[in-house]
Amino acid sequence: MSEYTSQELMVAVAAREIDDGDLVFVGMRLPILAYGVARNTHAPTARALFEVGLMRDQPAQGFLATMGDPPNVVGALWSTRMSNLMALMAQGAVDLGFIGGAEVDRFGNLNTSYIGDPRRPLTKLPGSGGGADIAILSRRWVTLMRHERRRLVDRVSYVTSPGHGDGTPGWRERRGLLGGGPAAIVTTMAVLRFPEGGGEAYLASVHPGCSVQDVRDNTGWDLQVASEVPVTPPPTAAELAALRRLDPDGFWTR
Protein backbone atom coordinates (compact mmCIF):
# COMPACT_ATOMS: atom_id res chain seq x y z
CA MET A 1 0.00 0.00 0.00
CA SER A 2 1.40 3.38 -0.96
CA GLU A 3 1.76 6.16 1.56
CA TYR A 4 -0.62 8.42 -0.32
CA THR A 5 -3.69 8.03 -2.51
CA SER A 6 -3.87 9.05 -6.15
CA GLN A 7 -6.25 11.86 -5.13
CA GLU A 8 -3.68 13.13 -2.66
CA LEU A 9 -1.04 13.17 -5.38
CA MET A 10 -3.40 15.08 -7.69
CA VAL A 11 -4.03 17.65 -4.98
CA ALA A 12 -0.31 18.11 -4.36
CA VAL A 13 0.40 18.48 -8.09
CA ALA A 14 -2.45 20.96 -8.46
CA ALA A 15 -1.16 22.93 -5.47
CA ARG A 16 2.21 23.35 -7.19
CA GLU A 17 0.46 25.14 -10.08
CA ILE A 18 -0.32 27.98 -7.66
CA ASP A 19 2.42 30.61 -7.51
CA ASP A 20 2.95 32.71 -4.44
CA GLY A 21 0.92 35.90 -4.75
CA ASP A 22 -1.58 34.40 -7.20
CA LEU A 23 -5.27 35.25 -7.10
CA VAL A 24 -6.86 31.82 -7.54
CA PHE A 25 -10.43 31.04 -8.61
CA VAL A 26 -10.90 27.88 -6.59
CA GLY A 27 -14.35 26.43 -7.23
CA MET A 28 -15.29 23.13 -5.66
CA ARG A 29 -13.96 19.72 -4.58
CA LEU A 30 -10.23 18.88 -4.81
CA PRO A 31 -9.07 22.41 -5.72
CA ILE A 32 -10.32 23.61 -2.32
CA LEU A 33 -7.70 21.30 -0.82
CA ALA A 34 -5.07 22.23 -3.41
CA TYR A 35 -5.43 25.89 -2.50
CA GLY A 36 -5.06 25.10 1.18
CA VAL A 37 -1.95 22.99 0.58
CA ALA A 38 -0.32 25.71 -1.55
CA ARG A 39 -1.14 28.43 0.92
CA ASN A 40 0.30 26.39 3.82
CA THR A 41 3.49 25.47 1.95
CA HIS A 42 4.97 27.46 -0.94
CA ALA A 43 2.37 30.17 -1.59
CA PRO A 44 1.82 32.01 1.71
CA THR A 45 0.56 35.21 0.08
CA ALA A 46 -1.89 33.68 -2.43
CA ARG A 47 -5.58 34.69 -2.29
CA ALA A 48 -8.62 32.65 -3.19
CA LEU A 49 -11.98 33.48 -4.78
CA PHE A 50 -15.03 31.25 -4.41
CA GLU A 51 -17.90 32.03 -6.77
CA VAL A 52 -20.47 31.60 -4.02
CA GLY A 53 -19.22 35.11 -3.11
CA LEU A 54 -16.06 34.86 -0.99
CA MET A 55 -12.47 36.04 -1.04
CA ARG A 56 -10.04 34.74 1.53
CA ASP A 57 -6.35 34.32 2.21
CA GLN A 58 -5.99 31.70 4.95
CA PRO A 59 -7.60 28.34 4.22
CA ALA A 60 -10.72 27.72 6.26
CA GLN A 61 -10.07 26.26 9.70
CA GLY A 62 -12.92 23.75 9.55
CA PHE A 63 -13.60 21.03 6.97
CA LEU A 64 -15.31 22.16 3.75
CA ALA A 65 -17.58 19.84 1.80
CA THR A 66 -18.49 22.85 -0.37
CA MET A 67 -17.28 26.42 -0.79
CA GLY A 68 -20.56 27.58 0.80
CA ASP A 69 -19.92 25.93 4.16
CA PRO A 70 -19.86 28.30 7.17
CA PRO A 71 -16.14 27.75 8.00
CA ASN A 72 -15.30 29.31 4.62
CA VAL A 73 -16.95 32.56 5.73
CA VAL A 74 -15.06 32.83 9.03
CA GLY A 75 -11.98 34.93 8.43
CA ALA A 76 -13.00 35.81 4.87
CA LEU A 77 -11.50 38.97 3.37
CA TRP A 78 -14.75 39.68 1.52
CA SER A 79 -18.20 38.12 1.64
CA THR A 80 -20.25 39.41 -1.25
CA ARG A 81 -22.27 38.66 -4.36
CA MET A 82 -20.99 36.40 -7.11
CA SER A 83 -21.04 39.09 -9.79
CA ASN A 84 -18.40 41.08 -7.88
CA LEU A 85 -15.98 38.16 -8.17
CA MET A 86 -16.85 37.66 -11.83
CA ALA A 87 -16.03 41.37 -12.31
CA LEU A 88 -12.50 40.77 -11.07
CA MET A 89 -12.10 37.78 -13.35
CA ALA A 90 -13.49 39.68 -16.35
CA GLN A 91 -10.83 42.35 -15.70
CA GLY A 92 -8.07 39.74 -15.99
CA ALA A 93 -7.26 39.78 -12.27
CA VAL A 94 -7.48 36.01 -11.78
CA ASP A 95 -4.06 34.39 -12.26
CA LEU A 96 -5.19 30.78 -12.06
CA GLY A 97 -8.50 28.96 -12.11
CA PHE A 98 -9.42 25.35 -11.41
CA ILE A 99 -12.14 23.52 -13.33
CA GLY A 100 -13.49 20.04 -12.74
CA GLY A 101 -13.99 18.01 -15.89
CA ALA A 102 -15.90 14.96 -17.01
CA GLU A 103 -14.31 14.85 -20.45
CA VAL A 104 -11.35 16.70 -21.98
CA ASP A 105 -9.89 16.57 -25.47
CA ARG A 106 -6.42 16.89 -26.98
CA PHE A 107 -6.81 20.67 -27.26
CA GLY A 108 -7.96 21.09 -23.67
CA ASN A 109 -11.64 21.70 -24.39
CA LEU A 110 -13.85 20.48 -21.53
CA ASN A 111 -17.30 18.92 -21.69
CA THR A 112 -19.32 18.90 -18.49
CA SER A 113 -22.72 19.16 -20.20
CA TYR A 114 -23.81 16.42 -22.61
CA ILE A 115 -22.57 13.04 -23.80
CA GLY A 116 -24.35 12.40 -27.09
CA ASP A 117 -26.92 14.58 -28.83
CA PRO A 118 -27.94 17.42 -26.48
CA ARG A 119 -31.57 17.01 -27.59
CA ARG A 120 -31.61 13.43 -26.34
CA PRO A 121 -28.34 12.92 -24.44
CA LEU A 122 -26.94 9.52 -23.54
CA THR A 123 -25.67 11.14 -20.36
CA LYS A 124 -26.61 14.53 -18.95
CA LEU A 125 -23.77 15.96 -16.92
CA PRO A 126 -24.39 18.73 -14.37
CA GLY A 127 -23.28 21.62 -16.61
CA SER A 128 -20.86 24.53 -16.54
CA GLY A 129 -21.19 25.97 -13.06
CA GLY A 130 -18.48 28.62 -13.19
CA GLY A 131 -16.28 26.40 -15.37
CA ALA A 132 -16.91 28.10 -18.71
CA ASP A 133 -16.36 31.52 -17.14
CA ILE A 134 -13.04 30.43 -15.63
CA ALA A 135 -11.97 28.80 -18.92
CA ILE A 136 -12.61 32.00 -20.87
CA LEU A 137 -11.65 34.74 -18.42
CA SER A 138 -8.88 33.53 -16.07
CA ARG A 139 -5.26 34.03 -17.16
CA ARG A 140 -4.52 30.30 -17.03
CA TRP A 141 -6.34 27.27 -15.73
CA VAL A 142 -5.87 23.68 -14.68
CA THR A 143 -8.29 20.78 -14.73
CA LEU A 144 -8.21 17.62 -12.62
CA MET A 145 -9.71 14.32 -13.62
CA ARG A 146 -9.49 10.54 -13.43
CA HIS A 147 -7.34 9.23 -16.28
CA GLU A 148 -9.61 7.03 -18.43
CA ARG A 149 -9.96 6.60 -22.19
CA ARG A 150 -13.60 7.66 -22.00
CA ARG A 151 -12.61 10.90 -20.27
CA LEU A 152 -9.51 11.87 -22.29
CA VAL A 153 -11.01 11.86 -25.77
CA ASP A 154 -9.83 12.98 -29.19
CA ARG A 155 -12.48 15.70 -29.53
CA VAL A 156 -15.30 16.48 -27.14
CA SER A 157 -18.70 16.50 -28.80
CA TYR A 158 -19.81 19.54 -26.79
CA VAL A 159 -17.55 22.34 -25.56
CA THR A 160 -18.73 23.60 -22.20
CA SER A 161 -15.44 25.26 -21.27
CA PRO A 162 -13.19 26.14 -24.21
CA GLY A 163 -9.50 25.30 -24.11
CA HIS A 164 -7.49 25.84 -27.28
CA GLY A 165 -10.45 25.23 -29.59
CA ASP A 166 -9.42 23.50 -32.80
CA GLY A 167 -5.76 23.63 -31.73
CA THR A 168 -4.64 26.13 -34.36
CA PRO A 169 -2.27 28.80 -33.02
CA GLY A 170 -4.05 31.93 -31.82
CA TRP A 171 -7.52 30.32 -31.76
CA ARG A 172 -8.46 31.91 -28.44
CA GLU A 173 -7.31 35.38 -29.45
CA ARG A 174 -9.19 35.24 -32.76
CA ARG A 175 -12.39 34.26 -30.99
CA GLY A 176 -12.06 37.03 -28.42
CA LEU A 177 -11.42 34.86 -25.38
CA LEU A 178 -9.57 36.87 -22.76
CA GLY A 179 -7.39 34.44 -20.81
CA GLY A 180 -4.56 32.20 -21.91
CA GLY A 181 -6.44 28.93 -21.58
CA PRO A 182 -5.51 25.55 -20.12
CA ALA A 183 -2.02 25.18 -18.71
CA ALA A 184 -2.24 21.60 -17.48
CA ILE A 185 -4.45 18.55 -17.19
CA VAL A 186 -3.68 16.81 -13.92
CA THR A 187 -4.91 13.21 -13.91
CA THR A 188 -4.63 10.15 -11.71
CA MET A 189 -1.76 8.94 -13.92
CA ALA A 190 0.11 11.91 -15.32
CA VAL A 191 0.42 15.62 -15.99
CA LEU A 192 -0.33 16.84 -19.52
CA ARG A 193 0.71 20.32 -20.57
CA PHE A 194 0.19 22.62 -23.53
CA PRO A 195 2.68 24.57 -25.63
CA GLU A 196 2.90 28.31 -25.00
CA GLY A 197 0.24 30.04 -27.08
CA GLY A 198 -2.02 27.02 -27.44
CA GLY A 199 -2.20 23.80 -29.40
CA GLU A 200 -2.21 20.15 -28.44
CA ALA A 201 -1.57 18.55 -25.05
CA TYR A 202 1.65 16.60 -24.50
CA LEU A 203 2.72 14.24 -21.75
CA ALA A 204 4.81 16.27 -19.31
CA SER A 205 5.28 13.79 -16.46
CA VAL A 206 4.03 10.39 -15.31
CA HIS A 207 3.08 9.68 -11.73
CA PRO A 208 5.12 7.19 -9.69
CA GLY A 209 4.14 3.63 -10.61
CA CYS A 210 2.74 4.58 -14.05
CA SER A 211 4.57 4.05 -17.34
CA VAL A 212 4.37 6.15 -20.48
CA GLN A 213 2.69 3.18 -22.11
CA ASP A 214 0.04 3.00 -19.35
CA VAL A 215 -0.76 6.64 -19.97
CA ARG A 216 -0.93 6.24 -23.74
CA ASP A 217 -3.13 3.15 -23.40
CA ASN A 218 -5.59 5.13 -21.29
CA THR A 219 -5.69 8.20 -23.51
CA GLY A 220 -8.21 8.47 -26.32
CA TRP A 221 -5.86 9.97 -28.87
CA ASP A 222 -2.28 9.44 -30.00
CA LEU A 223 -0.69 11.39 -27.17
CA GLN A 224 2.45 13.34 -27.95
CA VAL A 225 5.31 12.37 -25.65
CA ALA A 226 8.58 14.17 -25.05
CA SER A 227 11.77 12.14 -25.55
CA GLU A 228 12.41 12.21 -21.81
CA VAL A 229 9.36 12.05 -19.54
CA PRO A 230 10.15 12.69 -15.87
CA VAL A 231 8.31 11.08 -12.98
CA THR A 232 5.95 13.44 -11.14
CA PRO A 233 7.52 14.22 -7.77
CA PRO A 234 5.41 12.52 -5.09
CA PRO A 235 3.73 14.59 -2.38
CA THR A 236 6.20 15.89 0.17
CA ALA A 237 5.71 15.31 3.88
CA ALA A 238 4.75 18.98 4.24
CA GLU A 239 2.17 18.75 1.44
CA LEU A 240 0.63 15.59 2.89
CA ALA A 241 0.53 17.06 6.38
CA ALA A 242 -1.18 20.22 5.11
CA LEU A 243 -3.64 18.19 3.07
CA ARG A 244 -4.60 15.87 5.92
CA ARG A 245 -5.19 18.79 8.25
CA LEU A 246 -7.71 20.11 5.71
CA ASP A 247 -9.41 16.75 5.08
CA PRO A 248 -8.80 14.74 8.26
CA ASP A 249 -11.39 12.08 7.45
CA GLY A 250 -10.35 11.64 3.82
CA PHE A 251 -13.78 12.81 2.55
CA TRP A 252 -12.18 13.87 -0.74
CA THR A 253 -8.98 11.89 -0.94
CA ARG A 254 -9.71 8.27 0.08
Partner 1 sequence: MAKVMTMAEAVERFVPDGAAVAIGTALEHAIPFAAGHELIRQGRRDLTLIGPISDALFDQLIGAGCVTGVRAAWIGNVSEGLGHCYRRATELGEPHRLEVSDHSNFSISLALWAAAWNSPYLPTRTLLGSDLPSTSSDLEVADGHVRVMPVRPDVAVIHVQRADAEGRAHMWGPLGITEEAGLAAERVIVCCEELVPAEVVLSDPNRVLLPEIKVAAVVSEPGGTHPAPLSGFWKRDSAAYRAYAGRSRDPEGFRDWLKEWVLDLPDRRAYLQRLDLDAIRVRRHRLSVPVDYGDE
Which region among 130-138, 139-147, 196-204, 216-224 touches partner 1 (by CB under 8 A)? 130-138
Rounded to 10 degrees, the C-alpha dihedral 94/26/134/104 comes to 130
Amino acid at 19: D
- String of contacts with partner 1 for each residue 190-229, x by CB under 8 A: ----------------------------------------
248 lies in the binding site for partner 1 (CB under 8 A): no
Catalytic residue among 8, 17, 51, 239: 51
- d(C-alpha 38, C-alpha 42), whole Å: 6
Q: How far is CA 103 from the centre of its chain?
A: 13
Measured CA distances, 89 to 19, 50, 51, 85, 173 (Å): 17, 11, 10, 6, 17
69 lies in the binding site for partner 1 (CB under 8 A): yes
130 lies in the binding site for partner 1 (CB under 8 A): yes
Which region among 1-9, 52-60, 184-192, 237-245 touches partner 1 (by CB under 8 A)? 52-60
Please report how close the Cβ of residue 230 comes to partner 1 at its closest, in angstroms.
Answer: 32
Residue placing its CB nearer to partner 1 in the complex, 158 or 202: 158
Residue placing its CB nearer to partner 1 in the complex, 149 or 174: 174
The reply to whether 228 belongs to the active site is no
Find all residues with CB under 8 Å of 233, minimum gap 6, and list them. none
Other CB atoms within 10 Å distance of the CB of residue 85: 23
Beta strands 110-111; 103-105: pairing state: antiparallel
Residue placing its CB nearer to partner 1 in the complex, 113 or 143: 113
Instruction: Compute φ and ψ for 11, nearest 5 degrees.
Output: -65, -45
88 lies in the binding site for partner 1 (CB under 8 A): no
- d(C-alpha 143, C-alpha 14), whole Å: 9
Please report how close the Cβ of residue 240 comes to partner 1 at its closest, in angstroms.
Answer: 22
- Taken in order 134, 136, 142, 145, the sign of the CA dihedral is positive
Which region among 37-45, 79-87, 193-201, 202-210 touches partner 1 (by CB under 8 A)? 79-87
Which helix (H) or strand (E) covers residue 163, if one does? Answer: none
Which region among 37-45, 62-70, 184-192, 221-229 touches partner 1 (by CB under 8 A)? 62-70
Please report how close the Cβ of residue 72 comes to partner 1 at its closest, in angstroms.
Answer: 8
165 lies in the binding site for partner 1 (CB under 8 A): yes
Measured CA distances, 149 to 61, 73, 190, 222 (Å): 37, 39, 13, 11
Binding positions for partner 1, rule: CB under 8 A: 28, 50-54, 65-70, 72-74, 79-83, 86, 90, 113-114, 118, 120-133, 135-137, 158-162, 165, 172, 175-178, 251
**Residues annotated as part of the active site:** 51
